[in-house]
Amino acid sequence: MSALTLIRAFAYRTRVMKSARAYESPLRADLMEQTRVRILEALTELFADPTIWEITIPLAARRARVSLRTVYRHFPTRDALFDAWGDWVEKTLDVRLHTYPEDIEDLPGFVRRLYDTYDRNDALMRALLGSRAARGAREGTRRRRKRSFERAMRALTMALEPDDRARAIAAVYLLASAPAWQAMREQWGLDGSEAGRAAAWATRVLLDELRRNPRSIKDP
């Protein structure tokens, strides 16, 4: 076989292999994403299981019916798994778990929408709030939520002393939380729409007071 023939054969083989890789790449990406979602769905099931005390990577792998190595390939740590799950829930179910509006003026309207989404995903929210296994996830995402909320509140609270600022932020933060939604539902019988209206009103009152007289937090 001549050198030219060998070169042509090699070039043809290279083109075929590149074509095969180009075809396989989207398929591989789709399969990886399906596996990733399968793991996140399994995590949701674990949160809703009242018999589970703590969620671990091996437990998530067993529930998703994938290998431990597969889970670690997508999520190198438990915190990474919980963060990814929170992002997935926000995107898939439109339930805000991580972020708040950057402009605090948008917060009352955001609270109303937030409570509505909690109502639409009632089973998931009750599982998260009542699950012992979900405590780790809530703790892991709380730091992210608090940082987001503190940034939004900075302009209204920057002149306050640290202790006063912490109390003001905590009071407003509580209204934009799932436990407040749950309390209004269970203790006062309000659905998500009515609870959202009440929380939005209270949020607006507190924000107006912080604008008008921020130092009132010292002597309520």
What pLDDT is stored for residue 72 in this prediction? 95
pLDDT tens readout for residues 24-70:
567 778 888 899 999 998 988 888 787 888 889 999 999 999 999 99
Mean pLDDT of the chain: 82
Tokens in use for 18?
């590149």
Q: What is the identity of the amino acid at 52?
A: I
With contact defined as beta carbons under 8 Å apart, do 97 and 141 qualify?
A: yes
pLDDT tens readout for residues 190-217:
998 999 999 999 999 999 999 999 888 8
With contact defined as beta carbons under 8 Å apart, do 95 and 124 qualify?
A: yes
Unique residue bearing structure tokens 């703590």: 54
Q: DSSP H helical segments within the chain, as ranges?
A: 3-48, 57-64, 68-74, 78-93, 107-120, 122-130, 135-157, 162-175, 178-188, 192-212
Higher pLDDT pick, 5 / 149: 149
Domain ranges of the chain: 3-74, 94-218
| Superfamily of segment(s) 3-74 | Homeodomain-like (1.10.10.60)
pTM equals: 0.68
Q: How far apart are CA 184 and CA 166, in angstroms?
A: 24
| 164 pLDDT above the threshold of 80 | yes
Q: How far apart are CA 50 and CA 150, in angstroms?
A: 33
Going by C-alpha positions, the residue among 19, 39, 54 that lies closest to residue 135 is 54
What CA–CA distances, in Å, run from 170 to 65, 79, 100, 157? 41, 24, 14, 12
Unique residue bearing structure tokens 């003001």: 168
